[in-house]
Structure 1
Amino acid sequence: MFYIKPNPTTVYHVAYAPAIEKAYLFHWGCNLKCRGCLCNKEINCMALEENLDVVLRDPRLPKPQNPSQYLDLDEVITTLRKVAVKEVLFEGQEASIDPAYGAITEALKAEFGCYITLNTNGVKLPDLSHTDEVVMSLKAVTPELYRYYTLHSNDRVLRNFVEVYRLGKKLRAESVFIPGLIDLEETEKIAGFIAGVDSKIPYRIDAYFESGAENPWRRATPEEMAQAVTVAKKHLANVTCTQQTAAKLEKKDLMYEVIRLY
C-alpha cells in the first residue's frame, strides 16, 4: 500500500448499508459548539436498530461518553474490505478537521474507486482532491444568530460555500429548522444566500428535535416544515425536508438496513 502505518485518524465508528453498499465514517472532534448538537444525545449512527429511539429520548439524560478508541488509516481500509463499497459518507462531529482526511479519501479511491461525500459545517475546507460531493450545513446566515447558536463567526463558512461551488464539486446545502430560533425568516434567508450562488443547488431542511438539556426549543411540526419548504422554494428549485413523524420508529420503517462495522 502507498500509505504508511500507523496513520491515525479521528474515525471512531463505521456504519454500513448493505442494500446500497454505502459506508459511513464517523469522526470525533468539532470546531463549533452548536447548542442543539445531535451528539448531546447520540454519537453513533442514528439508523442503527439500537438507536431508532434517539428522536424521542429525554434530552435531560446524560450525554454519551466520548469515544475511547480510534481507527488508524490501515484499520479503516481493512474494516471496509469486509464489504462491497460503492459510496462512503464522511460525517460524525466534523470530518473536515481530521488531519488524515486527504489521506483517507485518497486511499479509498485507490482501494475501492468509490464515490466520496463529505458532510461538513464548512468552517474549514480540507483537501478535496478525492472528494466527489460536499454537503454543507448552513446553520444560519444572519451573523448574530449563527454566533449565538455555534459560538463562532460564519464569515468563513459562507466564503467556503462559494469556494466549493467554484471548485466545481457537486454541492448540496442543509440546515435545521428550530422553532423560535432558526425559523421561517432565517430559513428563507438561507435559501436566498444559496440562490445567490446557484438556484439549482439542492437544499434540505431537517426538523429539529430536542437535544441538549438546557435548550428551550421544541420539536418542529409537520406544518412548520411544510411552510419552511414553501418559503425556501421562493428562491430555490430543489428543496426537501426530513422529519420523523412516527410516534415510534421501527426497523421496518427504514428505507434500508444499517449495520455496525466498527
Structure 2
Amino acid sequence: MVAIKTKVYHVAYAPAISKAYLFHWGCNLKCQGCLCNKEINCMALEENLDVVLRDPKLPKPKSPEQFLLLDELATILKKVPIKEVLFEGQEASIDPSYSDITKALKDEFGCYITLNTNGVKLPDLTNTDEIVMSLKAVTPDVYRAYTEHSNRNVLGNFCKVYQQGKKLRAESVFIPGMIDLDETEKIAAFVAMIDPNIPYRIDAYFESGAENPWRRATPDEMIEAVTVAKKHLVNVTCTQQTESKLEKKDLMYEVIRLY
C-alpha cells in the first residue's frame, strides 16, 4: 500500500464540540499581513493566547519540518470523537492529498468538513460540506498590492462554488489604510450580487509582519465596517480581540494540541 503524504503539520482539537483543526503548510499568495508572520499553530491554544499582542518585529516562526502521512493523521483522529473537521493553516486547497484526506475522513467518521481557502485554486470538493472563502479585496489593484497576485480566479471560483450548491461563507480582514471601509463595502456588494444571504465575516487586523505600517483596527472601526457591509448583506459579523490579554476562560471552548 502506497503511503499518502499530506502537508498537515499541526492538528488542534476542541473537545467540547468534537472538532478537529488541520493545519496545512504552503500557500499560493504572499499576503503582507498573514498571521503566519507571527504564529503558524492554532491561535486558540493556551500557549498562543498572546499572539495578537506579540511584537510584529520578532523573528518569524520556523517552517515545520515534519508532515503527517494520511494513515498517521487517521490514527491521531481516531483517539478522539470527531464530528467536524476544519481545513486551514496556510492554504489547504493546494495540498495534493486534499481529496484523499477528505474522502478518508468521510469514510471513517462521517464528519462535517469545512475548507478555509483563499479561493485561488479549487480542489476536489466532492467530500467538502462548506467553503469559507477569504476574498481579501475585490478591487484588482488593491488585491495585487496586498497579495502580489490577481484576484480573477478568486472571484470566479466564489461564483463557481455557489453555483455548485455548496454551503458558502465569505471573509475578509479589515486593515486601516489598506483594506478599509470603501473596500469592505465593495466586497459586500460583490457577495450580494451573487446572493445577499451569504454570510460575511470581517476580521480585525492585528499587527503582523515586521515591515507593515498598518495599525490594529479599533472597535469603532469594526462596528462601522459591519454597518457598511449590512447595506448589501443580511448576515454580517466581525471578530476582534478587545481584551488586553486573553485567558482560557475568555474562550468559547478549550482547544488542545493533538499533534
Per the TM superposition, whether the score is higher than 0.5 is yes
The counterpart of 2:90, out of the listed 77, 89, 93, is 93
1:180 aligned residue: 177
The alignment partner of 1:102 has SS state of helix
Q: What amino acid does structure 2 have at the position aligned with 1:67? A: P
User: Shift in Å at residue 184 of structure 1?
Assistant: 0.3
Q: Which residue pairs with 2:26 in the alignment?
A: 29
Residue 102 of structure 1: which of 95, 99, 103 is its match?
99
Deviation at 1:5, TM superposition (A): 4.0
Q: Secondary structure at the match of 1:147?
A: helix
Cα offset, 1:43, TM superposition:
0.1
Counterpart of 1:258 in structure 2 is: 255
CA distance in 2, matches of 1:72, 1:140: 35
- Aligned structure 1 segments of 4 or more residues deviating by more than 3 angstroms: none
- Once the two structures are superposed, what CA deviation does each residue of 1:73-121 show, in whole Å capped at 9, x if it has no partner? 1111111000000000000000000000000000000000000000000
**What amino acid does structure 1 have at the position aligned with 2:219?**
P
Q: Give a deviation string over 1:33-72, Cα, whole Å, max 9, x none.
A: 0000000000000000000000000000000000000001
Q: CA RMSD in A?
A: 0.4
SS of 1:228's equivalent? helix
Question: What letter matches 1:108 in structure 2?
Answer: L
- Could you say which residue in structure 2 is the equivalent of 1:62? 59
What 5-or-longer segments of structure 1 have no aligned partner?
Answer: none
Query: Matches of 1:5 and 1:240 in 2, distance apart?
Result: 44
Aligned to 2:78: 81
Equivalent pairs counted in the alignment come to 259
TM normalised by structure 2 equals 1.00
Give the C-alpha shift of residue 175 in structure 1: 0.1
TM score, norm. by length of structure 1: 0.98
Question: Are 1:45 and 2:42 counterparts?
Answer: yes
1:227 aligned to 210, 224, 228, which one? 224
State how far apart, in whole Å, the 2-side matches of 1:89 and 1:181 are. Answer: 28
Question: How many percent identity over aligned positions?
Answer: 80
Q: Which amino acid aligns with 2:100?
A: A
Separation of aligned partners in 2, 1:72 and 1:92: 17
- What SS does the aligned partner of 1:43 have? coil
SS at match of 2:249: helix
Where does structure 2 lack aligned partners over 5 or more consecutive residues?
none
